[in-house]
Amino acid sequence: MTLSLGGEWSLHVPSPLFRRTRPSTGERPSAAGEPPPRPPQRSRSDRPRSRAWLPWRRSREVAVVLGPSRSLQEFSDQAARPKAAVEEATDSIVLTLNAPGARAKNTDVFWDEEQRRLVVGVWASARPGPRRTIAQPELAWYRSHWLPRCDGRAARVTVDDGTIEIVVPRINPGDGARSSPTRERPAPLDNVSEEFTG
């Protein structure tokens, strides 16, 4: 409403019957006492994508089982022998086995303390359980190493995309807590030639 007071002066009085409205933003005004509306959230497609987790690029550890490897010996006749590389250090020996298809869930590693022998086996499928099934388990890879001057109990085994890496620490001659290594090589477990390392 505009009231003219004469001359060049005029008074603008807002009319009580009409309220000023702000430009529409698509949001409803909040009532008295209510919190202001939240800003619109971005959809998942608009959010920056995080780096994908690739499980096959991460190495998995395998626990060393103490005792004879009878479960592997039973099926070792038809198993292939993986290629191995041996790297010797002052305090440990690193064995790297190339066994395609090896994963943490189908790889077994045994350490025979009495015979100082490390045995590695890779099953064609998942590791067989304690119960016998109709299908006969198949051992895809099998290899054993005689390590007379190493401590297989403290070995660390990792499997990464078909590559098995085993770090076996050497025995410290001054450590009386560990048993002394045998000097005589035990009889081989099977017809597969065994590697001597150490």
User: Which has the higher per-residue pLDDT, 151 or 195?
Assistant: 151
Is residue 57 predicted with pLDDT exceeding 80? no
Phi, psi angle pair for 179, to nearest 5°: -70, 145
pLDDT of residue 195: 59
At 148, the pLDDT band (50, 70, 90 cuts) reads: very high
Question: How large a percentage of the chain has pLDDT more than 90?
Answer: 43
Looking at the predicted structure, is the pLDDT value of residue 78 above 80?
yes
Q: Going by C-beta distance under 8 Å and a sequence separation of 6 or more, which residues neighbour residue 115?
A: 146, 182, 186
Domains of the chain in start order, with CATH, are: 58-196 (2.60.40.790)
Across the chain, what does the average pLDDT equal? 75
The predicted structure's pLDDT at residue 180: 43
* pTM metric for this prediction: 0.61
Q: Residues 23-60, buried b or exposed e (16+ Cβ, 10 A)?
A: eeeeeeeeeeeeeeeeeeeeeeeeeeeeeeeeeeeeee
